[in-house]
Amino acid sequence: MSTVTAISTPNAVGGIAVIRISGEKSLEIAEKVFRPAGHKKVSEMSGYTCAYGIAYDGTERLDDCILTVFRSPHSYTGEDVVEISCHGGLYVTRRILRAVLKNGAENAEAGEFTKRAYLNGKLDLTQAESVMEIISARGERELKMAENLREGMTYRKVKKCSEKLMKMLGDLGAWADYPEEDIPEVSSENLCKELETVRKELSALIENYDSGRIIREGISSVIIGRPNVGKSTLFNCLSGCDRSIVTDIAGTTRDVVEESVRLGDITLRLADTAGIHETDDIIEGIGVNIAEKLIESSELVIAVFDGNCPLTEDDLKLIKRLDNKKCIAVINKSDLEICLDTTEIEENIQQIVYLSAKENDGIEKLKKAVEVVFEINENSFSSAVAVNERQKKCIDSALSCVETAVSALKNGEFLDVVNVIIDEAEQYLLSLTGEKVTDAVVDEVFSRFCVGK
C-alpha cells in the first residue's frame, strides 16, 4: 500500500496540530521534512520515541515540532507511522502537510488510517466502527458503550456464536460427506439445543439496540398542550435560552420552534408547537395542524397541563389523542396551588411529572421519566450490544436464519437443508466481524469516518 498522510486534528486553530504519516516510506519521507535537533536521523529512531526539531519545506524553515515514531507492527495502523506535532495554526499545519505530500506521500482518504488498522489485523470491523462512536460520543453513556465496543465485547459475543455454528456445520458436513466412515448421525435434538443457545445470545445483542440508538441519535420529541399552559416556558427551560416567545397571551406560539437539548445523557430533538385548541384564526390553525401531525411522527410526546387550572375540553381531547404513544404528562406550575384533578391523566398516561418550568424545578424528574419510558438503564451500556444499523442488520439476519433452522428441525426437514440455513447464519456473523465481507461494505463503513482518523 502507498504511504498516506493527513492532518489528524480538527480543522481549527488550536494549541497544537498533528500531521500523521503511515506506510512503508513514512520514515523516509519524514526525514526529508523534519530535522532533529540531535545527531540521530529519523530513520534511526526506535519505535515509541520522540525527537524535537524543525520542519522544513526544502530549505524554508516552517516550524518547531515534535516528531514521534511508531514502528511496524506496533502502531495504530500496523505500518510504520510518524506523527509530526506542530503549533496549531491553520497555515503552518497545511504548509507542513504540503511538504510531506511533496516528498512522496499521498492524501489519506476518510478513515484510511483506521481502515489500514482493520486490513492489517489490528482491529476487527466492529472495533474499527467503535472509533467513530468514541469520537462522536457526547456523554458518559455514549462513551461507555463505544469503549465496550472498542474493547471487543461485541466481537467476542459474536465470535462465540460463530464458533458454535461452525462446529455444527463441521459435524453436519462430516456426517454427510463421509457416509462410509463410522461417524454418528447428528442428533436433531442436540442440534436444536445448540441453536437455541445461539438464538438467546444473538437476541441479547440486539435487545438494547433501541436504547443505544436513542443515546447516540437522540429522541424526536414534541411539546404539546392547549394554549398558555407553559409549553414555551418549558421549551426555553430545557434549551437554556429564550428560543420561544413567552407571554401571558394565549396563542403566542404559532409556528414550530425546534432545538436539540441535553437531558442528562439523553438528547431530545425537541419541537415547541402551537397550543392545540379550536380556533378561527387561519394562521394559528395551520400551527395547530402541524402540532397534531408532530404527535403522530414524534417518538416522544411531552403533554403539558396547567396544574393551577381544572382540565378543559381541549385537555380531554388531547388526552384521548395520545393512545399508543410514548408520552409523559407534565403538570406544570407546581410552584402554585395544584387545582388539577389528574384522574383522567393517570388513566391514560403512564408517566406523570410535576414541575415548574418558570422556576426551573423538577427537570431531573422529567429526565428519569424519559429513561423509564424508553427503558434506558446502565445495563444498556455495560454489555455487548449492536451499535449501528449495519451490525443490527447482520445480527437480525443471522437470528432469523437460526430461528428458521430450529423450525426446520422441529418440522422434520432433512439435515442437509438445515445445514444450508446454518451456513447462511454463519455468513452473516462473519460479515459482521469483517472476517468475510465485501470491499463495498468495508468502503461504506469507513466512508463515514473523518479524514485523519
Residue 343 inside a domain? The answer is yes
Residue that wins the pLDDT comparison between 382 and 416 = 416
Q: CB neighbours of 245 closer than 8 A, spacing ≥ 6?
A: 232, 252, 253
Looking at the structure of the chain, the number of domains it has is: 3
Query: 369 and 220 in one domain?
Result: yes
| Average pLDDT rounded to a whole number, residues 244-250 | 42
pLDDT in tens, 400-413: 999 999 999 888 88
| Residue 116 Cα distances to 17, 213, 218, 440, angstroms | 22, 27, 31, 15
Query: 366 and 246 in one domain?
Result: yes
What is the structure's pLDDT at 244?
45
Among 345, 373, 401, give the residue marking a domain's end. 373
Q: What range does the domain containing 229 cover?
A: 216-373
Residue 409 inside a domain? The answer is yes
Residue that wins the pLDDT comparison between 328 and 375 = 328
When pLDDT is cut at 50, 70 and 90, the band that residue 248 belongs to is very low
Cα(308)–Cα(180) distance, integer angstroms: 85
Q: Indicate the range of 61-70, 104-113, 142-151, 349-358 predicted with least confidence.
A: 142-151
| Residue 91 predicted with pLDDT over 80 | yes
When pLDDT is cut at 50, 70 and 90, the band that residue 379 belongs to is low
Beta 34-36 vs 106-107: how paired, if at all? unpaired
Query: 75 and 28 in one domain?
Result: yes
Query: 288 and 152 in one domain?
Result: no
| Average pLDDT rounded to a whole number, residues 152-172 | 87
| Average pLDDT rounded to a whole number, residues 191-212 | 86
What is the structure's pLDDT at 384?
65
Q: Which CATH number characterizes residue 65's domain? A: 3.30.1360.120
Query: 240 and 368 in one domain?
Result: yes
Q: Indicate the range of 97-101, 187-191, 286-290, 299-303 predicted with least confidence.
A: 286-290
Query: 176 and 70 in one domain?
Result: no
What is the structure's pLDDT at 40?
86
| Residue 318 predicted with pLDDT over 90 | no
Beta strands per DSSP E along 177-281:
219-224, 257-263, 266-272
Cα(157)–Cα(424) distance, integer angstroms: 18
Residue 419 inside a domain? The answer is yes
| Residue 246 predicted with pLDDT over 50 | no
Residue that wins the pLDDT comparison between 128 and 178 = 128
| Average pLDDT rounded to a whole number, residues 386-394 | 84
Is the alpha carbon torsion for 20, 25, 28, 29 positive or negative? negative
C-alpha cell at 400: 432469523
| Residue 328 predicted with pLDDT over 90 | yes
Phi, psi for residue 412 in degrees, rounded to 5 = 80, 20
What is the structure's pLDDT at 105?
96
Query: 405 and 307 in one domain?
Result: no
Cα(371)–Cα(23) distance, integer angstroms: 47
Predicted TM-score of the model (pTM): 0.70
Q: Find, among 36, 146, 27, the residue nearest to 75 by Cα.
A: 27
| Residue 16 predicted with pLDDT over 50 | yes
Cα(169)–Cα(141) distance, integer angstroms: 38
What is the structure's pLDDT at 336?
87
Name the burial class of residue 167, with classes exposed (0-12), middle (13-18) and buried (19+) by CB atoms within 10 angstroms of its CB.
Answer: exposed
What is the structure's pLDDT at 242?
52
What is the structure's pLDDT at 327?
94
Residue 130 inside a domain? The answer is no
| Residue 139 predicted with pLDDT over 90 | no
73-94 b/e with 16+ CB inside 10 Å = b?
Answer: eebbbbbbbbbbbbbbeeebbe
Rounded to the nearest integer, the mean pLDDT of the chain is: 85
| Residue 258 predicted with pLDDT over 60 | yes
What is the structure's pLDDT at 406?
92
| Average pLDDT rounded to a whole number, residues 139-143 | 73
Q: Indicate the range of 18-32, 132-146, 177-191, 202-216 predicted with least confidence.
A: 177-191
